[in-house]
Amino acid sequence: MGKGKVKLVEGGLRHDGRRLDELRPITISVGVLKNANGSALVEYGRTKVLAAVYGPREPQMKHILLPNRAVIRCRYHMASFSTYERKSPTLSRREIELSKVIREALEPVIISELYPRTSIDVFIEVINADGGTRTASVTAASLALAEAGIPMKGLVAGVAVGKIDGYLALDIDEVEDMYGEADMPVAIAPSLRQITLLQLNGVLTPGEFTQALELARKGVEVIHEMQKEALKKKYLDVKVEE
Amino acid sequence: MSVTPSAEFLIPKLKSDVIISMLGRGVRPNGRKVDEVRPITVIKNYIPNADSSVLVKLGNTQVLTGIKLEVGSPFPDTPSEGNLMVNAEFVPTASPVFEPGPPDENAIELSRVVDRGIREARAVDLSKLVIIPGKKVWNIWVDIYVLDHDGNLTDASSIGALAALMLTKLPEVEVRDTGEIVVDRNNRKEQPLLNRSVVTVTIGKIGNYVLVDPDLEEESLLDSKFSVAVTDDGLIAGLQKSGMGYLAEDELPLLVNMALNKGKEILSIVKALLKDS
Amino acid sequence: MIRISKLRELTNMDAVPGIALCVIEEFLPGNWVYEDQGVVRAAVVGKVRPDLRSRAISIRPSVKTPQLPSKGDVVYGLVSILYEELAIIKLFAGESGRRYSNSFTGLLHITQVQEGYVRNFYDVLAVGDVVKARVLNNTTPYSITIKEQKLGVVMAYCTVCGSPMKKHRSDTLKCLKCGGIEKRKLSVNYAIIKVW
């Protein structure tokens, strides 16, 4: 990590003018695809992620099925034009790891026992990458699952906290991730107070870790409110019933 | 190995009689006229990290096209030309029948049809992509992502590639004495990259009936499809027959004329869409 | 006991997955909700429907919930493979004719075709036939039956020339083109089929 090469925090503000505890502008749209059973498009600043859910369905490969629950299949994939330099469209080792981490961020909230011997497929396409793609993916995937009507214990939202120039900062972008000292993506199901994704790339003191987690929790709560708003706007405010 | 597709053939069989009798009266199940193209919308510069990009909607079909410009080496047989590469991905978000994995025969056919249209029409003058002759040239990557599949992916992709290329401007480059190349993406050449517009028009055939811009339901009934790459000066820059059926000799002039007319229409729509907004 | 004000607050309330509705002493979990540590929470997006008679709280989903066949449903299927005593049938739509977004595997045992002895499947079904069937269980692969009068083949194509066939007698079909006659276990609703 290149320390001091780029000044990331000056006068309490970050390179894009945000305060340390400020999220990027977030937009959420649900139901953006016709074919998918559920879909969502989530933007954290310039990061843009599309998630689609198919299922519960019978997959081609029947041997993966489980007798007591649905299996979750998850693919995190970056479009070749999503990064600064063109990325090969084949799955990298990073994308394979993130597919697993994101699936395991969703597993605890999906009530999979209701659909034994089926698969629920979550496909995530990163359209533009500017840091925080895995956490935006979790936020989008959880909305796509909700739109697909798959019973869930709660919505999950994610955000990354970083350490830049010695300060903890919420929702770091690519520049801050690249030149900062630490990156800690977190996903939480706020209504259940469960952490379903937690990674750390970098070094934090135990005290900093506690603070970082608290910062993430506050960020996630804001995003969770936006998730609820987006679902209500699309599915609950449309018509006055009775 | 290419194999006869065995996917869903049932619903079409139950429906095809109804639809053929409708076509006999000149109407399509979706209410369109036989030569009517679905509404086209274009969102420009959808992907900040791409050199240029568009999200094209053709009815409910959604295709995202991004262009990346990279400095690379020319091929040994064309030392004074840059390279243009078209790649299409049918991502599994788009349809319940798309599986994750490398592009299948349909994706490869699609990208090659779009590529041929652009290449053969000389829509991009590859000789203008040279930075150091014989050593360094621009590589243009046209990446097409199908996000939602409601039929006629070829035309939606071709519109996407065209619109993205229309928006592309080469960055300024500085060649240092050491041979190092410095690219300045914040400053771009005034002259747009595209010097001729080309778009494909796909016509579907069911029995003796033809229809322009088939949607997914219609596509599942088609005997054959015919894609024509049409330039803005009314030339044919590529042809592709696909599907399990045939084209009759005497209907070809009609199909080509139809495509030329529609091509002109689509090109002017796309140009107008890019001008405003 | 539930307070009136709480009842009023719950009725028709907006729900998204995870929100707490009430404690289990107030209402039992009904449909599209779940109970966790004594708290009943919503599992889908929809409107809350408390029911005083059954003392259960449910959600009426506002999103399209997953469509899967369940026990007792009448479904449409396509005969894909015939073995001696077993037929594999792709279930693609419910009784209303509305297609499932994904098709499911159904298994038809030879004893579930009709009352009485059936020597082999070739007397009652052919690959490519569309059948109306009733589902007997709740997980894939679904076991199905076509014993009832209204169940059985509803659309068939000639095994010789592929043309549509017309009902000939109660258990035979006649090809419109080549005149061939074939045996089937027919539904009384043969050729009456709406699928979309």
Summarised one tens digit per residue, pLDDT across range A204-232 is 999 999 999 999 999 999 999 999 999 99
Joined together, the tokens standing for residue C65 give 């919930």
Cβ B125 vs Cβ B195: under 8 Å: yes
Burial class (CB in 10 A: 0-12, 13-18, 19+), A93: exposed
User: Do the domain assignments include residue C66?
Assistant: no
Nearest CA in chain C to A192: C18
B8 pLDDT above the threshold of 70: no
User: Do the domain assignments include residue B5?
Assistant: no
pLDDT computed for residue C176 by the predictor: 85
User: pLDDT tens, B12-29?
Assistant: 566 777 788 888 888 888
Counting the structural domains of chain C, the total is 2
Residues 6 or more apart whose Cβ sits within 8 Å of residue A81: B47, B49, B50, B53, B66, B67, B68, B141, B143
User: Do the domain assignments include residue C195?
Assistant: no
User: Do the domain assignments include residue B188?
Assistant: yes
Give me the domain span that covers residue B95.
Answer: 10-275
Mean pLDDT of chain A: 93
For A149, the closest of C16, C34, C65 (CB atoms) is C65
User: Do the domain assignments include residue B225?
Assistant: yes
Cβ atoms within 10 A of the Cβ of B78, count? 12
Q: Are residues C56 and C98 in the same domain?
A: no
CATH number of the CATH domain containing C122: 2.40.50.140
Q: Are residues C45 and C136 in the same domain?
A: no
Residue among A17, A10, A3, A44 nearest A160 (CA): A44
pLDDT computed for residue A5 by the predictor: 63
A73 pLDDT above the threshold of 60: yes
Counting the structural domains of chain B, the total is 1
Q: CA-CA distance, B116 to A68, in Å (whole number)?
A: 51
Q: CA-CA distance, C147 to C189, in Å (whole number)?
A: 14
User: Do the domain assignments include residue C86?
Assistant: yes
Q: Does A82 touch chain B (CB under 8 A)?
A: yes
CATH number of the CATH domain containing B72: 3.30.230.70
Beta pairing class for A13-14 and C33-36: unpaired
Q: Are residues C56 and C83 in the same domain?
A: no
User: pLDDT tens, C127-185?
Assistant: 989 999 999 999 889 999 999 999 999 988 888 888 888 888 888 999 988 888 999 99
Q: Are residues C88 and C144 in the same domain?
A: yes
Q: How confident is the model at residue A4 (pLDDT cuts 50, 70, 90)?
A: very low
Mean pLDDT of chain B: 91
For C19, the closest of A57, A151, A191 (CB atoms) is A191
Chain A residues inside the 8 Å CB shell of C140: 58, 117-118
DSSP character string of A182-219: EEEEEEEETTTTEEEEE--EE---HHHHHHHHHHHHHH
Q: Are residues C81 and C152 in the same domain?
A: yes
Q: CA-CA distance, C101 to B68, in Å (whole number)?
A: 36
Q: Are residues C165 and C116 in the same domain?
A: yes
For chain A, which domains are there? Answer: 9-235 (3.30.230.70)
Q: Are residues C26 and C79 in the same domain?
A: no
For B10, the closest of C78, C101, C102 (CB atoms) is C78
Q: CA-CA distance, B107 to A141, in Å (whole number)?
A: 26
Task: Find the mean pLDDT for residues B131-150.
Answer: 95
Cβ atoms within 10 A of the Cβ of B218, count? 21
Burial class (CB in 10 A: 0-12, 13-18, 19+), C14: middle
3-state secondary structure of C5: helix
Cβ B137 vs Cβ B127: under 8 Å: no
User: pLDDT tens, B232-248?
Assistant: 999 999 999 998 889 98
Q: Are residues C32 and C115 in the same domain?
A: no
Q: Are residues C80 and C177 in the same domain?
A: yes
pTM (two decimals): 0.88
Q: What is the ipTM of this complex?
A: 0.91
Q: Are residues C81 and C54 in the same domain?
A: no
Cβ B71 vs Cβ B139: under 8 Å: yes
Q: CA-CA distance, B199 to B269, in Å (whole number)?
A: 11
3-state secondary structure of C38: coil
User: Do the domain assignments include residue C68?
Assistant: no
B6 pLDDT above the threshold of 70: no
Q: Which of A16, A27, A35 to mutate to test the interface with B (most CBs of B within 10 A)?
A: A35
Joined together, the tokens standing for residue B128 give 């203008």
- Subunits with 3+ Cβ pairs within 8 Å of C are A, B
Give me the domain span that covers residue C155.
Answer: 74-183
Q: Which residue bears the tokens 């035309």?
A: B155
- Subunits with 3+ Cβ pairs within 8 Å of B are A, C
Residues 6 or more apart whose Cβ sits within 8 Å of residue B42: B54, B55, B56, B57, B159, B163, B270, B273, B274, B277
Cβ B162 vs Cβ B192: under 8 Å: no
User: Do the domain assignments include residue C193?
Assistant: no
Q: Does C105 touch chain A (CB under 8 A)?
A: yes
**E strand intervals along chain B:** 40-44, 52-58, 61-72, 83-90, 130-132, 136-148, 171-175, 181-188, 198-206, 209-212, 224-231, 236-242
